[in-house]
Homo-oligomer: A and B are copies of this chain.
Amino acid sequence: MRVNGEQYRTIWPDPTDSRRICLIDQRQLPHRFVVETVTSCQQMCAAISEMHVRGAGLIGAAAAFAVYLATLAAPDEGMDPYLREAASELLRSRPTARNLQWAVERMLAAIGTVATPAGKRQLALAAAKAIADEDADFCRRIGIHGLPLLEEISRRKGGKTVHILTHCNAGWLAFVDYGSATAPIYAARDAGLDIHVWVDETRPWNQGARLTAWELQQEGVACTLICDNCGGHLMQKGLVDLVLVGSDRTTHTGDVANKIGTYLKALAAWDNDIPFYVALPSSTFDWNLDNGYDIPIEQRAEEEITTTFGRDEEGAIRTVTLTAPGTRAANYGFDITPARLVTGLITERGVVAAERQAICRLFPEGPGDAATGTDLSVSKK
């Protein structure tokens, strides 16, 4: 998507030296647009856990490139145990994200198909690129499948503005390109629909205020920032036509782990009879869990709640403390929206009900995939 009119992905190998992985440092947005270069798996682990990169698909792609970087650092003798250690470190960096595990498993399976160290390194780069390309392509397809939902609302409203509420950033910044929740929005913009997005600021990390509002503005999509408390009121007042969010992990029974606060918006949508859709590439499905409440929920540092950061009068990024000294805080990163509150899932293969049978019908290979470790080829598009 566009930054100051120029096309970018969120992560890419340096075209002049593929041992250098470039990524947008999202901690600095929207105040500074900084491209960072990562050259080791350890560095990428830090970039993931410290949220230089975040978001379901992007974490997956970053982990894939991290495994590739690990193959470069690994000794020819003992490459496999080295990679297993690197994989463990990656899996510890963010516990809730399904795509992270999915990408690491897929990378290891791909690398395992060749014997020579040089072959493994070559294949790792190809596999990581394929994961990134696939992520972008899946999001593009989510846009195609989500567009008719917005067209239908627009038709019903006689062409008047369609108001979409979104939480956190499931935009192109959360994936390699297009985004999941934003893909139908960008598709609708391209189709000439009159679209307006209510953007939840998404405390504590302000992904909505810092990232979603910024990327929508860069793409010329009308949007209004609101605090996370506001969505229920807007829904009561008839100012929301559809809620559209992403997911960090979705069980094959349709329970959705997404950014903390998503569940509250799903409840409000349900109470006001407003459709609540979750957009996700199939790499976000967890085929092993029946119950969303079994998904591990990441707890992060108290300081993310007791402090915040922004641009001061001189334009410097500055952290300020919001609370009295000694204030304790709890910082859960995600919550679970039970399937009963989800109107539908928008995937790269189409829109599907949030329930086991429908999901498994659309992804018949799914349950076997992660569970058995088969079908991990990287060329599948």
Please list the residues of chain A having a beta carbon within 8 angstroms of any beta carbon in chain B. Answer: 30-31, 198, 201-204, 206, 209-210, 213-214, 217, 223-234, 236, 259-261, 263-265, 267-268, 271, 293, 297, 305-313, 318-324, 326-332, 334-336
Q: Is the CB of B267 within 8 A of A209?
A: no
List the B side residues contacting A271 at CB < 8 Å: 267
CA A121 to CA B229, docked complex, whole Å: 43
On whether the beta carbons of A217 and B335 are closer than 8 Å, the reply is no
Choice from B203, B214, B297, B332 contacting A324 with Cβ under 8 Å:
B214
Contact present for B233 and A335 (CB under 8 Å): yes
**A325 to nearest B CB, angstroms?**
8
Given contacts A217-B326, A225-B306, A328-B225, contact A311 B321 (CB under 8 A): yes
Q: Given contacts A231-B264, A261-B229, A261-B230, are A310 and B322 in contact (CB under 8 A)? A: yes
29 pairs of residues in contact across A and B, judged by CB atoms under 8 Å? A30-B323, A198-B330, A201-B322, A209-B327, A210-B322, A210-B324, A213-B323, A224-B328, A224-B329, A227-B260, A228-B228, A229-B259, A229-B260, A229-B264, A229-B335, A230-B330, A233-B297, A233-B334, A233-B335, A264-B268, A307-B310, A308-B310, A308-B322, A309-B320, A311-B321, A312-B319, A312-B321, A313-B319, A318-B320
The distance in angstroms between the C-alpha atoms of A336 and B31, with both chains bound, is 35
Which B residue's beta carbon lies closest to that of A312?
B320
Copies of this chain in its oligomeric complex: 2
Q: Considering the chains assembled together, what is the distance between the CA atoms of A309 and B318 in angstroms? A: 11
| Least CB distance, A11 to chain B, in whole angstroms | 21
Q: Which residue of B lies closest to A315 (CB)?
A: B321
CA distance in complex: A259, B232 (Å): 12
Smallest beta-carbon distance A219→chain B, Å:
13
- B311 near A308 (CB under 8 angstroms)? no
| Residues of B with C-beta under 8 A to A232 | 261, 263-264, 267, 335
Residues of B within 8 A of A209 (CB): 305-306, 322-323, 327
Find A323's partner among B225, B259, B264, B312 (CB 8 Å cutoff): B225
Q: Are A227 and B305 neighbours in the complex by a CB distance under 8 Å? A: yes
Q: What chain B residues lie within 8 Å of A204 (beta carbons)?
A: 227
Expressed in whole angstroms, the Cα–Cα distance for A135 and B252 within the complex equals: 54
**Alpha-carbon separation in the docked complex, A198 to B310 (Å):** 26
Beyond contacts A210-B323, A233-B263: 7 other A-B pairs, Cβ-Cβ < 8 A, are A225-B306, A231-B264, A232-B264, A232-B267, A267-B268, A310-B322, A320-B320
Q: Which 10 A-B pairs have the closest CB atoms?
A: A229-B261, A310-B320, A30-B324, A233-B335, A267-B267, A203-B227, A225-B329, A264-B264, A232-B263, A229-B260
**Smallest CB–CB gap between A314 and chain B, Å?**
11
